[in-house]
A and B are shown apart, each in its own frame.
Chain A
Amino acid sequence: MTDPLSLAPILSPDDRPTPLFADPDLTHEQRYDAFVEHVHGGQKVEARDWMPDEYRTSVLRFVEMHANSELMGVLPEREWIMRAPTLKRKLALTAKVQDECGHAQLLYRVAEDLGKTREQMYQDLLDGKTKFHNVFHYPTKSWGDVGIIAWLVDAAAIVAQQALRDSSYGPYARTMKKICWEESVHIMHGRDVVVTMMNGSQAQRDMAQEALDRWWGPLMQMHGPRTDPAKDRDLFWRIKEKTGEQLRQEFLSTYVPRLWEVGLYPPDKELKLDEASGEWRYTEPDWQELRTVVTGHGPKSQERLDFRRLHHDQTAWVRQTILATPAPA
């Protein structure tokens, strides 16, 4: 029995002893090996730790693309903030898009602490040097899109984000915990929008199905083609924990039954659960479309970047004003 007055739990050795790779007296190879062992042992890396260049570059690229996606993901839904049809929807949609802005800020903060300025990240995004997720390169056409995006695009994203709570990069993992906590409500909002439409008129049901038809392709492409896990450096560094195919399967397992139960049908005749393997079968997504879209040639890629550039330029004077204010003593 533990002595109730024992302070042992408090005084037990810190769960993060000084990592071996921090020792500057080791050779580079020894530090590198110790670092690999550290992350493979499920341990975290912090912003100021020594880290191999490849790790730093990989984390930065990964987090920066995630931040870019949150930032650009604001735009398709933002168009509907002014068109929300009830007071409650107006509040929910404004709050959801606000969260995307907030998440972009949280993620850019993580990236900034890796040494790249926010302005530089904006410039690289606007210049097409860095990417953002495929789903944010497409137009939104109806209120049905608002529901489908908030429900399914966010669901597909949250499946990936939940796995990132275990990322080896500590600041990213902690940020993902906060983001996942905040995002869970988006899915509720989206599903509520869609289910309300499915309980409404035929025109509303058609609108929801039509939106699903358009979004299904991009949704299936979202987690990327099957890859060889052995060659995936982000997996090697434990920046992420799951392959694209694992995430897609998780997404399908949870959400296809929920679509079917309300009378919505993804436009894929091959889509079914293979009982024997427990895996979902589906028509091979159009990977050429994915490559075309994420390299900036999607239906709305340039228009969205132009829009972002326009507003960034128009408000530059505000940033100059506020950042020129001397910091208080």
Chain B
Amino acid sequence: MTTETRRPTRQLIQPDLPEFDSSGLDPQLRAAIADLLLTMADDEFVIGFRDSEWTGIAPMLEEDVAFSSLAQDEIGHARLLYELRAALTGEDPDRLAFHRQPNEYRHARLLDQPRQSWGFTITRRWLYDTADSVRLAGLARSSFAPLADVVGKIRREERYHLMHLDAWLERLGTHHGKPRGKLLSALKQLSPVATSVFAPLPGEEMLVAAGVLSAPMADLAARWRSEANARLCALNLRPIADGVPAADGRDHATPHESFVWLWNEFTSVAQLEEGVEW
């Protein structure tokens, strides 16, 4: 054994969140950005939990691993977005994630239902990923620089999600019988809530005016629908119906029973004892 002096510990964890000074931010705009971040973080958090449930029970071991990667990416994105919000509000990211009541979460209703079959999972993920991709594009040149920076990193990881989900949509969608049937019934079931990702936000006008968000959510929804429908039609699948995103797309005053189950799971250890570390 050598007895040389210990070298300083190498910096292993690169911070993903850029340092920034938000002291000059208008309080109302700050609140609107914080609210936008919470909706995005909750989306990624909830779908990350749903996907992680496949780890160990997917149709092929290769997909256990692939879906687990997607889940980890989403939870990583949720963490980054909670951290960015926390930098604006002074909250704690883990408390945001694990210590709210079920009716305080702001995820899109598209993500409320359980994972169900592989066909349902693929359909919902594809709908979510394509919608998220349009939303992220609307934030890529955000005037709020830290958000543009974070979104840039997230988009690079989301590319693989789109590739992988589209590969599955095509394989199931072009296979007549059960695989196609599963997709069609999932599309029918999810179509009414699919646009909930673009549910209007309270501070939306201000966000658009300040250049934080490139366009109103309703415009982004229309853009997403035309892109998604082009792909669905090419595969001869049922297109998403027209319509403006419902105002209550992120409202959980009466939480969905499946989300309550999920909430009970993910808070079961975190809320065992107040004020301890895990």
Residues of A within 8 A of B (CB): 71, 74-75, 78, 80-91, 94-95, 97-98, 100-102, 104-105, 108, 143, 193, 196-197, 199-201, 203-204, 311, 314-319, 321-322, 324-325
Tell me which residues from 243 to 278 in chain B have a Cβ below 8 Å from any Cβ of chain A: 262, 265-266, 268-270, 272-273, 276-278
Chain A nearest CB, measured from B276 CB (Å): 5
Q: Please give, as numbers and ranges, the residues of chain A lying within 8 Å of B57 by CB-CB distance.
A: 78, 311, 315
Option from A83, A94, A100, A315 in Cβ contact (under 8 Å) with B71:
A94
Tell me which residues from 204 to 227 in chain B have a Cβ below 8 Å from any Cβ of chain A: none
**Known contacts A83-B268, A84-B269, A94-B55: does B276 contact A204 (CB below 8 Å)?**
yes
Whether the Cβ atoms of B172 and A321 lie closer than 8 Å is: yes
B24 within 8 A of A: no
A selection of 15 A-B contacts at a CB cut-off of 8 Å is A87-B78, A90-B52, A94-B52, A95-B72, A97-B68, A98-B55, A98-B64, A101-B55, A101-B56, A101-B68, A105-B65, A196-B278, A203-B272, A204-B273, A318-B59
**Known contacts A81-B55, A97-B68, A105-B61: does B269 contact A91 (CB below 8 Å)?**
no
Tell me which residues from 51 to 67 in chain B have a Cβ below 8 Å from any Cβ of chain A: 52-53, 55-62, 64-65
Whether the Cβ atoms of A86 and B270 lie closer than 8 Å is: yes
**Known contacts A94-B75, A200-B276: does B171 contact A322 (CB below 8 Å)?**
yes
Q: Please give, as numbers and ranges, the residues of chain B lying within 8 Å of A101 by CB-CB distance.
A: 55-56, 61, 64-65, 68
Whether the Cβ atoms of A201 and B75 lie closer than 8 Å is: no
Q: For the complex, give the distance between the alpha carbons of A56 and B61 in Å.
A: 25
Q: Please give, as numbers and ranges, the residues of chain A lying within 8 Å of B277 by CB-CB distance.
A: 196, 199-200
B180: nearest chain-A partner, CB-CB: A321
Chain A nearest CB, measured from B45 CB (Å): 8
Whether the Cβ atoms of B276 and A201 lie closer than 8 Å is: yes
User: Across chains A and B, which 7 residue pairs bring their CB atoms closest together, nearest first?
Assistant: A98-B68, A318-B59, A315-B59, A85-B270, A101-B64, A74-B56, A85-B269
Whether the Cβ atoms of B69 and A325 lie closer than 8 Å is: no
- Classify the secondary structure of B's interface with A: helix
Whether the Cβ atoms of B75 and A82 lie closer than 8 Å is: no
Q: For the complex, give the distance between the alpha carbons of A95 and B71 in Å.
A: 9
A82: nearest chain-B partner, CB-CB: B265
Q: Please give, as numbers and ranges, the residues of chain B lying within 8 Å of A322 by CB-CB distance.
A: 59-60, 171
Whether the Cβ atoms of A83 and B266 lie closer than 8 Å is: yes
Interface size on B, residues (CB 8 A): 45
Chain B nearest CB, measured from A200 CB (Å): 5
In the complex, identify which listed stretch (B15-23, B91-99, B137-145, B186-194) lies at the interface while the others stay far away.
B91-99
Whether the Cβ atoms of B75 and A90 lie closer than 8 Å is: yes
Q: Please give, as numbers and ranges, the residues of chain B lying within 8 Å of A74 by CB-CB distance.
A: 55-56, 64
Most buried by A among B48, B79, B278: B278
Q: For the complex, give the distance between the alpha carbons of A104 and B60 in Å.
A: 11
Q: For the complex, give the distance between the alpha carbons of A317 and B53 in Å.
A: 19
A203: nearest chain-B partner, CB-CB: B273
Q: Please give, as numbers and ranges, the residues of chain A lying within 8 Å of B270 by CB-CB distance.
A: 85-86
Chain A nearest CB, measured from B82 CB (Å): 7
Chain A nearest CB, measured from B175 CB (Å): 5
Whether the Cβ atoms of B94 and A86 lie closer than 8 Å is: yes
Q: Please give, as numbers and ranges, the residues of chain B lying within 8 Å of A88 by CB-CB distance.
A: 79
Chain A nearest CB, measured from B111 CB (Å): 15
Chain A nearest CB, measured from B270 CB (Å): 4
Q: Please give, as numbers and ranges, the residues of chain B lying within 8 Å of A80 by CB-CB distance.
A: 269
Q: For the complex, give the distance between the alpha carbons of A321 and B169 in Å.
A: 12
Chain A nearest CB, measured from B255 CB (Å): 17
Q: For the complex, give the distance between the alpha carbons of A84 and B269 in Å.
A: 7
Render B157-184 as a binary contact track against A, CB cut-off 8 A, 1 for contact.
0000000000000011001001100000
